Amino acid sequence: MQARQAQVSQVVVTASQMRDIEGRIFAAGMPVAALMEKVAGLISLRVQAVAGSSVGIFVGPGHNGGDALVVARELHFRGYEVWLYSPFSKFKELTSQHLQYAQSLGIKCYHDVEQLPDCDFLIDGLFGFGLERPITDHIAVAINHLNQWGKPILSIDIPSGIHTDTGEVLGTAIRATHTFCLGLWKLAFLQDQALEYIGKAELIDFDIPGADVQAVLGNPPQIKRITSVTALSTLPLPRPAVTHKYKEGHLLLICGSRRYAGGAILTALGARASGVGMLSIAVPESLKPILVSHLPEALIIGCPETETGAIAHLQLPENTDLSSFRAIACGPGLTVDAAPIFPEVINSEISLVLDADGLNILADMGTIPTLEKRQAPTVLTPHTGEFQRLFPDIADPKSDRIKAVQEAAVQSGAVVLLKGARTAIANSQGAIWVNPESTPALARGGSGDVLTGLIGGLLAQAATKEIPVEDIVATAAWWHSQAGILAAQERTELGVDAFTLTQYLMPVIKNLGNN
């Protein structure tokens, strides 16, 4: 049972894929009415756990409206005061039958939203997945009125007015406080632009056969949610009983400048928390004392610096070159004045993570032609603005971040991590991981530097293990966000600066071990 739940929680579908999966279920003999009863029964149980005793229910013309009507009936039988609102006059046959029966029970249906009596909460069953046309006219007016009412709204499957795949608002949309996603997670739940409409999201698993999911999505599916189960499959990385520091990965950080010493410190603290066996940090010579004071266990490499305090060129220890390391993470605090070191870094034959000014320099060099020269794995970690500089020919990621990150990874051959409320990671084959949990507490300067160090440290440790790079990056993104969530719970969202964040990385692992 737990294995099935873990598998289902990873799956993400588009509207088209969900139609195909449901089509297979119905073709196999599952009656639509029976499935509607099952789904609505599960929703009714959850509604009773989260809401009050009187409810207004919005009824659409399709099967989403049918689900809402079965919920209305079940809540009525359990003693709730129930009122219906529907701006429609024509319904699908099964939905029409449920409406007729609800009215026979004395449940009133209003066609004017302003006539709907005052109630404790509302249930949205206007439109399910697959809506593509903008909502206009009297329905749009009604939705805006309901949003302004100030009542908790529980949406069935997806808030009405949200595009199932892109998360776009189609004219207007219900602002739900709680959404019960039916069967499998829809792609909109992982698009940043939909999050303020979805509220708290919960999956209602109605036992879709795994064979039907696999037949439509393939194995493995192209888009997956990162969960604690998937993160634990690579975290902590397995370590033999007999080992030593260099076997557990040697990471080189190239970061910092006289102006931005903090970027080097925060990146290094993120790397330290990863458990990497050996950490070397190349910084401008003037930063060496402060790095030593914060990370006495690391090898701090002081490099000649420019007049502006940036690294002028890499000056590694004797008998050492870039091939001596298992991974490189480069960029935080660097400034673009360090651009002359980049050809050497790009030409290295080991895993490379680029962030911050590393990305800005790459964009100036030309992202695609520069990365075409690399044979070793490359990880790019842009926020939206950096992404647009790196990939100016790709559509704005704000409109469909999943599609954008996929195109970027396929074009560049890199593993691309697009930061956001729902961080998305794609590999060069177009496979995608999305982190479904985060916190606004991470919207602080320096938190991305911590992530860069964490990714670099994990990649260095995994260099001799057969773990896909995108899985390592996904694990780092999940670990980073969980540390933010834990810190926000204990310190409040305003209390999570980047340095504090680094102190919560290890407690995340400790908590996993205790569960």
Confirm if 162 and 168 have CB atoms less than 8 A apart: yes
Residue 422 annotated as lining a ligand binding site: yes
Checking DSSP bridges between strand 54-59 and strand 153-156, what pairing results, if any?
Answer: unpaired
Strand order in the sheet with 299-303: 223-225, 432-434, 424-426, 415-418, 378-380, 351-354, 327-330, 250-254, 278-284, 299-303
| Look-up of token digits 């000056």 | 315
Closest-CA residue to 169 (of 148, 142, 146, 198): 198
Residue 131 annotated as lining a ligand binding site: yes
3-state DSSP helix/strand/coil % of the chain, to nearest 5: 45, 15, 35
Residue 67 annotated as lining a ligand binding site: yes
Closest-CA residue to 225 (of 168, 187, 180, 170): 187
Residue 130 annotated as lining a ligand binding site: yes
| Look-up of token digits 């393939």 | 218
Residue 449 annotated as lining a ligand binding site: yes
Residue 65 annotated as lining a ligand binding site: yes
Residue 218 annotated as lining a ligand binding site: no
Cα(54)–Cα(75) distance, rounded to whole angstroms?
A: 9
CA torsion, points 63, 69, 73, 78, in degrees to nearest 10?
100
CA torsion, points 135, 137, 142, 148, in degrees to nearest 10?
80
Residue 245 annotated as lining a ligand binding site: no
Residue 163 annotated as lining a ligand binding site: no
Checking DSSP bridges between strand 424-426 and strand 432-434, what pairing results, if any?
Answer: antiparallel
Residue 423 annotated as lining a ligand binding site: yes
Greatest Cα pair distance in the chain: 88
Cα–Cα distances (Å) from 82 to 53, 57, 72, 118, in that order, read 9, 7, 7, 11
Residue 420 annotated as lining a ligand binding site: yes
Confirm if 403 and 449 have CB atoms less than 8 A apart: no
Residue 421 annotated as lining a ligand binding site: yes
Residue 128 annotated as lining a ligand binding site: yes
Cα–Cα distances (Å) from 304 to 226, 288, 333, 397, 420, in that order, read 42, 11, 16, 38, 35
Cα(43)–Cα(37) distance, rounded to whole angstroms?
A: 10
Residue 160 annotated as lining a ligand binding site: yes
CA torsion, points 388, 391, 395, 396, in degrees to nearest 10?
-10
Residue 333 annotated as lining a ligand binding site: yes
Residue 145 annotated as lining a ligand binding site: no
Residue type, 45: L
Question: 58 forms bridges with which residues in the sheet?
Answer: 85, 124
Annotated binding site for AMP: 419-423, 448
Annotated binding site for (6S)-NADPHX: 63-67, 128-134, 157, 333, 383, 449
Annotated binding site for K(+): 64, 124, 160
Annotated binding site: 63-67, 124, 128-134, 157, 160, 333, 383, 419-423, 448-449
